[in-house]
Amino acid sequence: MSVEEQESSRELQTTIEAVYEGWKEYDTKLRECVASIPNEALELRATNDSKSVGEILRHIISVRAGWFSGTLQDPDDVMNGYILWDSLEPLTLTIEVLEKGLCETWAFMEARLVRWTPADCAVCFPDEWNGQIFEVSRSWVIYHVMEHDHHHGGQVSFILGINGLKGLAI
């Protein structure tokens, strides 16, 4: 590898590391936010027909497990349990259980993020959407789950805020 290629590789790795670190910091802030609210806050909603804080957090956890373990074909018994959280109704969980789910799904994802190389991230896997099969790369899944975390974490923060509780400290 030439000096230029090595420099370019280091710059790319530095950028990737910065993105992962930012996502990790966001996850920490989400978990701190969740830890600070009472269990009753899990029932709060933005509107009567929208998902509750607890349902949104379950969804974040389930989606993390589904994409990183299911779609990326990295089976794990703990993640298999979390994948089901989005489909089980009713499933009422406590703050402590949701915190554990956020922590365990983050640890599962992070263990992979730190070891995957750019070549690993280019590997594609089949995914079904609306009856059609698509090939998605690990890179696409990483970005998709990160944006999903941010979107739904923002919903949680908004719902808490409109109800006089502290949202994410970002």
- 104-127 residue pLDDT tens: 999 999 999 999 999 999 999 999
Tokens 């998902």 sit at which residue? 51
- 30-75 residue pLDDT tens: 999 999 999 999 999 999 999 999 999 999 999 999 999 999 999 9
Return phi, psi of residue 132, to 5°: -115, 140
Give the per-residue pLDDT at 5.
60
The pTM score is: 0.89
The average pLDDT across 66-87 equals 96
